[in-house]
Amino acid sequence: MEESTPWHAPGKYYASPANYDPELTAERPGMPRRVRIKDVTLREGEETPGVVFSMENRIEIARRLQDIGVAEIEMFRTYTLDETRAMTDAFNRAGISVPRSFVSVSLGPWIEWIDMVCDGGAHGVTLLSGWPTGVVWAPGRKTLPKDEFYPRLAEAIGHARRQGLHVSVGAPNTTRAPVHAVIDLCRFAVQSGADRVHLYDSFGIGLPSVVRFLARKVKEAIGETPLLWHGHNDFGQATANTVAAVEGGAEWCDVVVNGLGDRGGNAAFEEVVCSLEVLHGIDTGIRLEKLCELSRFIEEVSGIRLQPNKAIVGKHAFLEESHFMIRKAAEDAGYPEAVLPFVPQLVGASPHLVIGTTNLYVGAIEYLLEKWGLPSDPETVETIRSRVRARLEGGGYLEQDQLHAIAHEVVG
């Protein structure tokens, strides 16, 4: 058996040795070895236009998130005490014990809202700060100056902590605010007693290099206090930006199953977790083999269908046609990861090799006929190939059982 390395776990995955090059790793000295996952599917998922989860579905989503190993669940927004209590009671009856947090519905003030969610059974709160990022998020909005805003923030942090809540302070639209102002806010939040700091790329506008830099500068300012990154996918970079934030020192990530969310969505749970685990060797505490199962459930209850070639969990993520024989040779040699980034079983999927126009003449038909104990002489193969070509004239591909049926028609 070949010896494992950080980039190659025989029978599981084969990443790039360059990911661990000493010159490169020296550029990310603050990258943690363990990252905790906070799932935001219940909130951001319902911010996807047209998506409304029933209470039954919310409970089942939370149960599955707990089972897969998330460290925290951010709840959907509630606006009354009765609504909050009803939701919390339902979750408690269902045995959902993973910490649950609420994010503020405004950029301050927060005292009344903190009392409501605390009385409603929250474990933690995230206070969204209106300074400095509220100014650039909504130009023209009346926003308190820093010297008035900071005392109110400190009061809210203290109020929440006295009620036993875990307190996070978040800066919406971080990537539009001056870096020095973001750092100043984060430092002040920690000095005022915040347990964690959140950075939000609310419109997905940060480049990975910028995100890495920003995370590193904030971590230098807040020291041992945990940093969380929350990224949107408007430019298709949410996963890359989340990984970059971890490279900069973030110990927590916000993720959403299947990348649901408003506009272009959010950092996808399955992509972020697999990228951290496989490409960086970072422990997330997530049961990877449950990822496809979780994704299918969210697809079902949200009504939002995944694109077939969606990374990690798409229907075609492990479907192969053109490299059929290469895949089969690697599998037969007990070395399946040689022609894949990781084996499908790692995320609870199965290999999917099909017959199409790109493998009609590369030995795939002959291989399967021999495997099935059927004649594989040139005449038989050509007859089968002709029938397959006719079936594929309108596009598509054939499953192996469909080829098997055609072969039996030919050989009798």
Q: What is the CATH number of the domain that holds 262?
A: 3.20.20.70
Same domain for 274 and 371, yes or no, is: no
Same domain for 63 and 184, yes or no, is: yes
Among candidates 231, 228, 249, which has minimal Cα distance to 240? Answer: 231
Residue 171 to residue 130: CA distance in whole angstroms: 8
Residue 350 to residue 361: CA distance in whole angstroms: 25
Same domain for 172 and 117, yes or no, is: yes
Same domain for 95 and 57, yes or no, is: yes
By residue range, what is the domain housing residue 388? 319-411
Check whether 17 has a pLDDT greater than 80. Answer: yes
- Considering only residues 97 and 135, tell me which one the structure prediction assigns the higher pLDDT: 97
Write the single-letter amino acid at 147.
Answer: D
The string over 157-187, giving b where at least 16 C-beta atoms fall within 10 Å of a residue's C-beta and e elsewhere, is bebbbeeebbbbbbbbbbbbbeeebbbbbbb
Position 85 scores a pLDDT of: 87
In a domain, 9, yes or no: no
In a domain, 310, yes or no: no
Check whether 2 has a pLDDT greater than 70. Answer: no
* 7, two tokens: 């980039």
pLDDT for 74-130, tens place per residue? 998 877 888 888 888 899 999 999 999 998 866 667 898 899 888 888 899 999 887
Q: Could you tell me if 403 and 372 are in contact, meaning their C-beta atoms sit under 8 angstroms apart?
A: no
Strand partners for 72: 38
Query: Largest Cα–Cα distance of the chain, in whole Å?
Result: 87
Residue 366 to residue 86: CA distance in whole angstroms: 62
Query: Looking at the 3D structure of the chain, how many domains does it have?
Result: 2
Residue 117 to residue 119: CA distance in whole angstroms: 5
pLDDT for 226-273, tens place per residue? 999 999 999 999 999 999 999 999 999 999 999 999 999 999 999 999
Position 371 scores a pLDDT of: 86
Check whether 328 has a pLDDT greater than 90. Answer: no
Check whether 139 has a pLDDT greater than 60. Answer: no
pLDDT for 198-213, tens place per residue? 999 999 999 999 999 9
Position 355 scores a pLDDT of: 86
Check whether 148 has a pLDDT greater than 90. Answer: no
* Separation of first and last alpha carbons in the chain: 43
Same domain for 169 and 296, yes or no, is: yes
Phi-psi bin for 179: left (phi > 0), alpha (psi -120 to 50), beta?
Answer: alpha
Check whether 137 has a pLDDT greater than 70. Answer: no
Same domain for 298 and 331, yes or no, is: no
In a domain, 127, yes or no: yes
Same domain for 74 and 113, yes or no, is: yes
- Considering only residues 404 and 80, tell me which one the structure prediction assigns the higher pLDDT: 404
Last residue of a domain, one of 302, 337, 369: 302
Position 33 scores a pLDDT of: 95
In a domain, 369, yes or no: yes
Q: Which residues contact 384 (CB under 8 A, 6 or more apart)?
A: 365, 369, 403, 406, 407, 410
Last residue of a domain, one of 275, 302, 329: 302
Same domain for 183 and 330, yes or no, is: no
3-class secondary-structure state, position 320:
strand
In a domain, 307, yes or no: no
Q: Could you tell me if 107 and 156 are in contact, meaning their C-beta atoms sit under 8 angstroms apart?
A: no
Q: Rounded mean pLDDT of the chain?
A: 90
Total-model pTM: 0.90
In a domain, 5, yes or no: no
In a domain, 22, yes or no: no
Same domain for 244 and 324, yes or no, is: no
Last residue of a domain, one of 273, 302, 331: 302
Same domain for 117 and 37, yes or no, is: yes
Instruction: Return phi, psi of residue 363, to 5°.
Output: 100, 0
Same domain for 77 and 220, yes or no, is: yes
Check whether 31 has a pLDDT greater than 90. Answer: yes
Residue 247 to residue 353: CA distance in whole angstroms: 36
In a domain, 6, yes or no: no
Same domain for 283 and 367, yes or no, is: no
* 50, two tokens: 């047209």
* 242, two tokens: 């989340």
